[in-house]
Amino acid sequence: MEPIRYRKNGPCGDCPWREDVEPGQFETCRFDALKSTSTQPEDIASVEDVLSQRMFACHQTKEGREQACAGWLVVAAVQGNLRVRLALATGDLPREAVEPGPDWPPLFSSYEAMAERQGRPDDGRGEIKPQREPR
């Protein structure tokens, strides 16, 4: 394994794991495709399953240079995600990556809760909703 790259300064302003983010930024089909990133230990059948498990990437990182989402890491660690636990045990992920800072917003407690609230009906494009213009 290699060190896990992650967003070090907490969840971004429109992170779907934040409970205070306006819902509907992402199509439901995107969350369906990413569900495997939050596979729980009872769904893991082999060491290969753990080592090949994908991480939920921060949507603000560039493709090919993805970093694990800060909000996801915290929730995945609490839920016992084996890929995250293994990375912590081997030193490929520092403990502070899964400990929310004192000024962090509330996060959804599960993938299901996050995806149910944050998804919007699919329009077939699978894209992130364009950012709103600042007022």
- Closest alpha carbon to 15 in 47, 49, 56, 51: 56
Model pLDDT, residue 59: 87
Model pLDDT, residue 131: 46
Reply yes or no on whether the pLDDT at 99 is more than 50: yes
In terms of pLDDT, which residue wins out, 53 or 19? 19
How many Å apart are CA 55 and CA 69, to the nearest integer? 8
Reply yes or no on whether the pLDDT at 20 is more than 60: yes
How many Å apart are CA 102 and CA 104, to the nearest integer? 6
How many Å apart are CA 111 and CA 79, to the nearest integer? 10
Domain boundaries, the chain: 26-120
Structure tokens at 42: 């009872």
How many Å apart are CA 8 and CA 105, to the nearest integer? 15
Condensed to tens digits (0 to 9), the pLDDT of residues 47-61 reads 887 777 778 888 888
How many Å apart are CA 39 and CA 79, to the nearest integer? 10
Quickly state the pLDDT bin for 104 (edges 50, 70, 90). very high
Buried b (16+ CB within 10 A) or exposed e, 28-60: bebbeebeebbbeeeeeeeeeebeebebbbbee
Average pLDDT, the chain: 82
Q: How confident is the model over 84-108, as a mean pLDDT?
A: 93
Condensed to tens digits (0 to 9), the pLDDT of residues 66-83 reads 899 999 999 999 988 888
